[in-house]
Chains A and B, each alone.
Chain A
Amino acid sequence: MPILEELLAGFRKYEHDSSFQNEFLRLMEDWGGRPTPLYHAQNLSTAYGAEIYLKREDLLHGGAHKTNNALGQALLAKKMGKTRIIAETGAGQHGVATAMACAKVNLPCTVYMGAVDVARQAPNVQRMKLLGAEVIAVTSGGATLKDAINEALRDWIASCNTTHYLLGTAAGPHPFPTLVKHFHRMIGEESRAQCLEKIGKLPDYAIACVGGGSNAIGLFSGFSEDQDVRFIGAEPGGEGLDSNRHGAVLVKGTPAVLHGMRSLALQDEDGQIQDTHSISAGLDYPLVGPEHAYLRDIGRATYTAITDEEAVSAFYELAALEGILPALESAHALAQAKKTAKEHPDCTILVNLSGRGDKDLEHIMAYAEAQKNA
């Protein structure tokens, strides 16, 4: 707890500090490639029957939105005098972003990654190592993201005097959800300005995928005052909600306390957290950021489940119609856009294309092979 108080104090000190903000924003432009474009996907719009705009976080340095938060927190840790960074990663995108940011700010970096994810996201493991990070494979539990977070928390309990835990999603103990949202809110703020400039109005829907919920909270936060913009979070429906092989926490979860937060989780009647399943490693998390639970409860956002099959179809459609390979995570948001378009023809939909799909190629080919043989 004292370390969380120290982190909150550090964050409050630099949150509005203009030299810190300027350094962060300048690096995000010149090193990171911001602002990312807003793209009117006309072919997809025609196919889906609504006006679809993509926020191109896939074009950000590193290939996903994760870079925003990784650089922000790494700079903050440096300012706070920390000399080492640890992080957890699921799909490896946050691990890669953290390794990049640590190389940039010159801090040693250790990334905890579930052994299952190490195996299914091998290219990202290599990228992290090339960027100078140490990658530790976690074998406990289901050996995925939740277990990597457990192990990172254990490291931090022992090392917090020197080490910053660079948490990658809008979850965990306060102030992490606040911190992560802060560094991602540029996704929503840029989108809002770009919509007004390019479309001359705000979208009817803002859609993002939700695992822990970082890209979604970044997108939604830019429109928090715009009550006419409806928020939809697309959760991993895996093999379907009746299969127990999914990760739709906001659709099917119950109140829980874990990883230092009170939120929702998929759990049994004894409060034991259950293993999740998704084709997308980045959405494979049995809890969710607490602000999403709040947005759901007050009715500001709705959350839906997209199956593996629907996400994969959306992946192929974007590739074929627009020449863009989306991350499988982001493909969940695209699949939801297709459904929303069908329910509300001719509406305007903003989709956060949170990452690019290069990392998923092997996985998607294997899925196609398995479907063929099924």
Chain B
Amino acid sequence: MLNTRYTHIHDKVNIGKAVYMPYVLMGYPSLEGSVAAAKALIDGGADGLELGLPFRDPVADGPVIQDAANVALDNGFKADDAITFIQQVRAYAPGIPFTVMTYFNIVLAKGIERFIGALSKAGCDGILIPDLPPEHANDVYPITQAHNMELIFIVAPTTYAGRFEKIRPYAGGFIYVVTKMGTTGMKEDFDSDLKTLFTEIKAQINLPAIAGFGISTPAHALDMVKKGANGVIIGSKIIQLCSDNFKEGVLSPAPLQEHTKKIQASLVA
């Protein structure tokens, strides 16, 4: 068992509370803007952050995140900027878990050992690689372990019992639950048998089940928790708030803070 900041969310979940871990795309709307956005989310009461690395071919994401990633990359964002980003935001929030979300090719190109080592040193607690299936997890797992980083896995409505067997030996931190089939974005109809899915996950793996994909409002968040989620992740809506509140190169933090407070309030309700 590693000693990471995920204990922060585990402690909260263990006393029956739900957690909120919003998603920031590093480098969007600008490098400084994304640092400001992360700080606003922290000020609003985020229990952890998911930090996206811009990739031009993000097949698990919808158009909102893809377009934002292209903006970040067109602005000159490089993978090494993630290290600076994490150092800055870590200094601002010493205690909450940071999960980097990145497609595998970036890690491969930067060098698995070198990049994961640098992320860890900067203050990152875990890494979620949506296009790394458990069949290939061992390419990364010994390295994340050596650097005290958890490997985070996705579970979808199509994940059947046999696949939990493959995920279980590697999974740490939390389980990212894809609440419907598709990509990230703002779809509002949730699969009706989510209760069964959350029950199944909890029976299979002893980690918090955090719902992502298609959540944007306090009502969605509450609905997920009522169906059995231990918390929620919001991504595309945060991107949209960043975009709407970025004027003349400066991000206004207030709307992001307000949104975070509203989500947190809904989870307590």
Contact B183 A272 (CB under 8 A): no
Residues of B within 8 A of A (CB): 55-57, 59-60, 62-63, 66-67, 70, 73, 78-79, 103-110, 131, 133, 135, 158-160, 163, 180-183
Digit string of A152-179 for contact with B (CB within 8 Å is 1, else 0)? 0110011111000000000000000000
Q: Which of A203-253 contact B (CB under 8 A)?
A: none
Contact A140 B66 (CB under 8 A): yes
Residues of A within 8 A of B (CB): 1-3, 140-141, 146, 150, 153-154, 157-161, 254-260, 265, 267-273
B71 to A: closest C-beta gap in Å: 13
A263 to B: closest C-beta gap in Å: 11
Contact A153 B59 (CB under 8 A): yes
A-B contact pairs, 17 of them (CB 8 A): A2-B158, A141-B70, A154-B182, A157-B183, A160-B158, A160-B181, A161-B181, A256-B109, A257-B104, A257-B108, A259-B59, A265-B105, A269-B109, A270-B109, A271-B107, A272-B55, A273-B56
Given the known A-B contacts A2-B160, A257-B104, are A158 and B109 also in contact in the complex, defined by CB atoms under 8 Å?
no
- Chain A residues near B66 (CB, 8 Å)? 140
Minimum CB distance partner of A174 in chain B:
B135
Give the contacting residue for B133; candidates A1, A3, A157, A271; CB below 8 A.
A1
Bound-state Cα–Cα, A149 to B67, Å: 17
Contact A256 B181 (CB under 8 A): no
- Chain B residues near A265 (CB, 8 Å)? 105
B161 to A: closest C-beta gap in Å: 11
Interface of A: prevailing SS: mixed
Contact B182 A2 (CB under 8 A): no
Minimum CB distance partner of A142 in chain B:
B56
Given the known A-B contacts A258-B105, A260-B131, A271-B109, are A154 and B159 also in contact in the complex, defined by CB atoms under 8 Å?
no
B163 to A: closest C-beta gap in Å: 7
- Chain B residues near A255 (CB, 8 Å)? 108
Bound-state Cα–Cα, A317 to B114, Å: 52
Give the contacting residue for B57; candidates A158, A254, A268, A273; CB below 8 A.
A273
Bound-state Cα–Cα, A175 to B108, Å: 23
B106 to A: closest C-beta gap in Å: 4
Bound-state Cα–Cα, A269 to B80, Å: 11
Give the contacting residue for B105; candidates A140, A150, A154, A267; CB below 8 A.
A267
Minimum CB distance partner of A159 in chain B:
B181
Sample of 9 further A-B pairs with CB below 8 A, known A160-B181, A260-B131: A2-B158, A140-B70, A157-B60, A158-B183, A255-B108, A256-B108, A269-B109, A271-B110, A272-B56
- Chain A residues near B109 (CB, 8 Å)? 254, 256, 267-271
- Chain B residues near A269 (CB, 8 Å)? 109
Given the known A-B contacts A157-B183, A270-B78, A273-B105, are A146 and B163 also in contact in the complex, defined by CB atoms under 8 Å?
no
Contact A271 B159 (CB under 8 A): no
Contact B182 A271 (CB under 8 A): no
Given the known A-B contacts A260-B131, A271-B110, are A141 and B57 also in contact in the complex, defined by CB atoms under 8 Å?
yes
For the complex of A and B, list the 7 residue pairs with the smallest distance between their C-beta atoms, beginning with the closest: A271-B109, A158-B182, A271-B105, A271-B106, A270-B79, A257-B104, A2-B158
Contact A154 B59 (CB under 8 A): yes
Minimum CB distance partner of A256 in chain B:
B105
Contact A150 B59 (CB under 8 A): yes
A141 to B: closest C-beta gap in Å: 6
- Chain A residues near B62 (CB, 8 Å)? 154
Give the contacting residue for A158; candidates B55, B70, B181; CB below 8 A.
B181
Bound-state Cα–Cα, A151 to B104, Å: 19
Minimum CB distance partner of A274 in chain B:
B56
A285 to B: closest C-beta gap in Å: 12
A186 to B: closest C-beta gap in Å: 31
Minimum CB distance partner of A272 in chain B:
B56
B259 to A: closest C-beta gap in Å: 26
Bound-state Cα–Cα, A272 to B159, Å: 29
Bound-state Cα–Cα, A3 to B160, Å: 11
Bound-state Cα–Cα, A68 to B132, Å: 31
Minimum CB distance partner of B102 in chain A:
A271
- Chain B residues near A140 (CB, 8 Å)? 63, 66-67, 70
Given the known A-B contacts A160-B181, A257-B131, A258-B105, are A150 and B78 also in contact in the complex, defined by CB atoms under 8 Å?
no
Minimum CB distance partner of B129 in chain A:
A257
Bound-state Cα–Cα, A11 to B180, Å: 27
Minimum CB distance partner of A151 in chain B:
B59
* Most chain B CB within a 10 A radius of its CB, from A1, A3, A161, A269: A1
Minimum CB distance partner of A1 in chain B:
B133
A1 to B: closest C-beta gap in Å: 5
Contact A3 B158 (CB under 8 A): yes
Bound-state Cα–Cα, A99 to B180, Å: 29
Bound-state Cα–Cα, A255 to B67, Å: 26
Bound-state Cα–Cα, A271 to B104, Å: 9
Minimum CB distance partner of B54 in chain A:
A272
- Chain A residues near B107 (CB, 8 Å)? 271
Contact A271 B79 (CB under 8 A): yes
- Chain A residues near B105 (CB, 8 Å)? 256-258, 265, 267, 271, 273
Bound-state Cα–Cα, A40 to B175, Å: 61
A255 to B: closest C-beta gap in Å: 7
Minimum CB distance partner of B58 in chain A:
A150
- Chain A residues near B108 (CB, 8 Å)? 255-257, 271
Bound-state Cα–Cα, A256 to B109, Å: 7
* Most chain B CB within a 10 A radius of its CB, from A2, A257, A258, A260: A257
- Chain B residues near A271 (CB, 8 Å)? 55, 79, 103, 105-110
Given the known A-B contacts A158-B183, A272-B73, are A2 and B63 also in contact in the complex, defined by CB atoms under 8 Å?
no
Give the contacting residue for A150; candidates B57, B67, B135, B181; CB below 8 A.
B57
